[in-house]
């Protein structure tokens, strides 16, 4: 069989946190739009569930879904006896979790380790928080790789490179705030590249996500952040075109999730309290259920009791904000959960031993927000402190939250603006990077090389779309999954209304050829 792998020697992945693919245009992001027109893109690129940054970035750098990585969003209960949620915000959260949790903080292998074991170099430069930087380059310092965070320079490594960066770019001790996007790219192009010329690199820009939360999708403040990130991408592309190695560099631009617009805040804790169920954010005397807030609240029972789990489900199912709900599969391979009316958690790719006993995807719809951007949702108030109604949200299974960006350009990739209509995902990026570099994949990788992006990658396999439903008391949870070969990609999940079910006239499980 002919070798279809492009002859790339360097692969750079640029991430724009929270960027929705349907918001890219020639006015707001001209550089990225032009790159898309020259290169190849995925029509249906997906993130993981929960669609939160640290879980998604761990999946990106590990090439595996949360069922394998064990990082279930930005916080989760690891069943470690601590009685509290495991956070991912700071580097201390990750280090403490690594000592405390069974299997360590991450139960899959990071690119930093895989590349080091194959004599290859890896670099991560971010303008993100500490947790995002750490997720992307987990244990990178231990493996002799390099990393720098322009907002949190103290956690950069190795020390000699961090000192050079701080001096050459005049990085304040407390990091950059304004213009951090361009600074991150400049750190890579002007210092990290000349010093290391890494085989693989990730440059992660967080500002669009922050602006989406704060201002709302389509608001001027959010669009201004998109323009700033696009200018930084323009700088990277201009730098690439000036390099002697320009014909050996592949660049991907991606995102870790999309956003929906918050139209209502609720409290799952209050709902459980009203039902007489003792629940809290930390376990303690009288607390039977530990829960995490967000777009997709999770519920862990301190001691498993199916009757109590049924009580939690019943208290949620009567709420007007109730959406698709997931529990462990009733039996291996089943699409139904252990409680009637719930879908199998395994369908979401998040069925790690640390996963909650019940996940609830809060209600959403396709309505436009005040700026004409479709996709609205309901959130638990506690996880969005300081973010107003009308601000951006993510974490759940709304189509707009799962949709992400993937655009590629470089030697051996398809070109001319070709759009791949299969399914791809954030956990396919690391396997693709390794394929491009000719490096074998780690055993924990569950993603696949996206060979349909390659110039000689052969025919694009049309996805088969499967819909699974589970009903009880007139409420039907629904999840839609696109299949490409042996790989599954979650398209969306929601609650079907009786009206929608009547209109659809669909069987409980229907397979539709895309």
Convert the pLDDT of each residue in 367-402 to its tens digit. 999 999 999 999 997 656 678 899 999 999 999 999
CA dist., res. 140 & res. 96, Å (int) = 17
DSSP assignments along 118-132, one per residue = TT--EEEEESS-HHH
Going 12 to 17 to 20 to 24, the CA torsion angle's sign is negative
Distance of CA 482 to the CA centre of its chain: 17
Does a cis peptide bond (omega within 30 degrees of 0) precede residue 158?
A: yes
Backbone angles phi, psi at 409, to 5 degrees: -150, 135
Positions in the chain short of pLDDT 50: 1-2, 499-514
The answer to whether the CB of 92 falls within 8 A of the CB of 473 is: no
User: Which one, of 95, 92, 109, lies nearest residue 152 by Cα?
Assistant: 92
SS (H, E, C) 382-432: HHCCCCCCCCEECCCCCHHHHEECEEEECCCECCCCEEECCCEEHHHHHHH
Q: What angle do CA 394, 208, 63 make, to 5 degrees?
A: 65
Task: Express each pLDDT in 111-140 by its tens digit.
Answer: 999 999 999 999 999 999 999 999 999 999
Enumerate residues 6+ apart whose C-beta is below 8 A from 311: 275, 277
CA dist., res. 335 & res. 199, Å (int) = 41
User: Which one, of 60, 109, 47, lies nearest residue 348 by Cα?
Assistant: 47
The answer to whether the CB of 49 falls within 8 A of the CB of 66 is: yes
The pLDDT assigned to 457 comes to 84
DSSP assignments along 347-363, one per residue = GGT---TTS-SEEE---
The pLDDT assigned to 357 comes to 98
The pLDDT assigned to 386 comes to 74
Query: How far apart, in Å, are the Cα atoms of 473 and each of 309, 314, 340?
Result: 17, 10, 10
Going 341 to 396 to 421 to 8, the CA torsion angle's sign is negative
The pLDDT assigned to 496 comes to 87
CA dist., res. 313 & res. 319, Å (int) = 10
CA dist., res. 236 & res. 283, Å (int) = 48
The pLDDT assigned to 177 comes to 87
CA dist., res. 215 & res. 221, Å (int) = 6
User: Which one, of 420, 412, 377, lies nearest residue 397 by Cα?
Assistant: 377
User: Which one, of 154, 151, 129, 165, lies nearest residue 57 by Cα?
Assistant: 129
The answer to whether the CB of 165 falls within 8 A of the CB of 187 is: yes
The answer to whether the CB of 196 falls within 8 A of the CB of 123 is: yes
The pLDDT assigned to 415 comes to 96
For 120, other C-beta atoms within 10 Å of its C-beta total: 17
For residue 299, give the 3-state DSSP assignment: strand
Strand pairing category for 260-266 and 392-393 = antiparallel
CA dist., res. 186 & res. 148, Å (int) = 12
Q: Which residue has the tokens 């070969």?
A: 485
The pLDDT assigned to 513 comes to 28
In the chain, the domains with their CATH numbers are 10-65+109-258+399-453 (3.40.720.10)
């Amino acid at each position: 069989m002919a070798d279809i792998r492009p002859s790339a020697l360097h692969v750079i992945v640029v991430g724009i946190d929270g960027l929705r693919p349907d918001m890219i245009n020639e006015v707001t992001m001209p550089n990225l739009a032009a790159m898309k027109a020259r290169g190849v893109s995925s029509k249906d690129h997906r993130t993981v569930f929960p669609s939160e940054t640290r879980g998604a970035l761990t999946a990106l750098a590990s090439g595996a879904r949360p069922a394998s990585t064990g990082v279930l969003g930005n916080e989760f209960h690891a069943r470690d006896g601590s009685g509290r949620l495991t956070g991912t915000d700071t580097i201390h959260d990750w280090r403490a979790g690594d000592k405390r949790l069974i299997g360590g903080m991450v139960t899959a292998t990071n690119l930093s380790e895989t590349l080091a074991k194959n004599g290859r170099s890896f670099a991560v430069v971010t303008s993100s928080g500490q947790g995002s930087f750490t997720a992307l380059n987990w244990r990178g310092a231990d493996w002799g790789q390099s990393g720098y965070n322009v907002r949190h320079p103290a956690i950069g490594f190795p020390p000699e490179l961090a000192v050079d960066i701080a001096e050459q770019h005049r990085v304040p001790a407390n990091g950059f705030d304004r213009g951090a996007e361009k600074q991150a790219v400049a750190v890579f192009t002007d210092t990290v590249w000349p010093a290391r010329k890494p085989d693989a690199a990730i440059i992660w820009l967080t500002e669009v996500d922050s602006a989406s939360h704060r201002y709302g999708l389509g608001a001027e403040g959010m669009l201004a952040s998109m323009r700033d990130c696009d200018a930084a991408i323009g700088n990277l592309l201009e730098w690439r075109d000036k390099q002697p190695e320009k014909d050996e560099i592949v660049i991907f631009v991606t995102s870790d999730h999309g956003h929906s617009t918050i139209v209502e805040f609720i409290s799952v804790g209050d709902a459980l309290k009203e039902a007489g169920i003792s629940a809290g954010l930390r376990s303690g005397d009288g607390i039977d259920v530990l829960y995490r807030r967000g777009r997709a609240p999770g519920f862990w029972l301190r001691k498993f009791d199916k009757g109590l789990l049924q009580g939690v489900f019943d208290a949620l199912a009567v709420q007007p904000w109730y959406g698709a709900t997931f529990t462990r599969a009733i039996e291996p391979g089943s699409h139904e959960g252990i409680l009637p009316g719930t879908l199998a958690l395994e369908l979401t790719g998040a069925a790690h031993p640390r996963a909650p006993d019940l996940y609830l995807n809060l209600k959403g719809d396709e309505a436009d927000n005040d700026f004409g951007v479709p996709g609205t949702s309901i959130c638990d108030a506690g996880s969005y402190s300081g973010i107003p109604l009308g601000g951006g949200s993510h974490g759940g299974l709304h189509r707009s939250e799962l949709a992400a960006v993937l655009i590629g350009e470089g030697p051996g990739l398809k070109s001319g603006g070709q759009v791949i209509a299969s399914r791809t995902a954030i956990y396919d990026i690391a396997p693709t990077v390794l394929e491009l570099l000719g490096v074998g994949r780690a055993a924990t990788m569950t993603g696949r090389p996206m060979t349909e992006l390659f110039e000689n990658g052969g025919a694009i396999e049309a996805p088969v779309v499967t819909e699974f439903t589970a009903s009880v008391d007139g409420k039907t949870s629904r999840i839609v999954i696109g299949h490409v070969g042996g790989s599954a990609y979650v398209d969306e999940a929601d609650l079907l209304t009786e009206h929608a079910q009547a209109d659809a006239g669909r069987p409980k499980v229907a397979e539709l050829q895309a």
